[in-house]
Amino acid sequence: MISVQAGEQNLHIGDTLRIHNKVVEGEKIRTQVFEGILIRLRGRDVNQTFTVRKIGAGGIGVERTWPLNSNSIVKFEVKKKAIKVRRSKLYYLRDLTGKSAVRV
């Protein structure tokens, strides 16, 4: 099972995450939350990135990729741990629709 230590959290492929991201709009700074399934971890050390996928409005799939050590990430929350994942990359979720696209 592929996992990474992020702060005090252990992230595993297939976990449902909430990422609190700092967004700068003009002079205002606010926190935006992105919740989805961790489908990819790649890289090593400082170059490590992760990709989270969610189903947005209208059933459109949305993926975001962040560097693991990004200053814009305020915190991670693991909403649900992956139970039975046997893949290191969950790209097959891109082809699924409905509930099967958000369950691992």
Render pLDDT for 6-61 as a digit per residue (tens, 0 to 9).
665 788 999 999 999 999 999 999 999 999 999 999 998 889 999 999 999 988 99
Q: What is the mean pLDDT of residues 71-87?
A: 92
Residue type, 17: L
Structure tokens at 79: 């909403």
pLDDT for the residue 7: 63
The b/e string for 36-70 (b: 16+ C-beta within 10 A; e otherwise) is: bbbbbbeeeeeeeebbbbbbeeeeebeeeebebee
Beta-carbon contacts of 10 under 8 Å, excluding residues fewer than 6 positions away, are: 3, 4
Q: Is the pTM of this model over 0.85?
A: yes
Structural domains of the chain sorted by starting position, each given as residue range(s) with its CATH number in brackets: 3-91 (2.30.30.790)
Q: Are 71 and 21 in contact (CB under 8 A)?
A: no
Residue with tokens 């039975």: 84
Nearest alpha carbon to residue 87 among 13, 3, 4, 17: 13
- pLDDT confidence of residue 98: 85
Q: What pLDDT shows up at residue 101?
A: 86
Instruction: Give the integer Cα–Cα distance in Å for 71 and 48.
Output: 14
DSSP 84: S
| pLDDT at residue 1, as a whole number | 57
* pLDDT of amino acid 34: 96
**Tokens 């992105």 — which residue?**
34
- pLDDT band of 103, cuts 50, 70, 90: confident
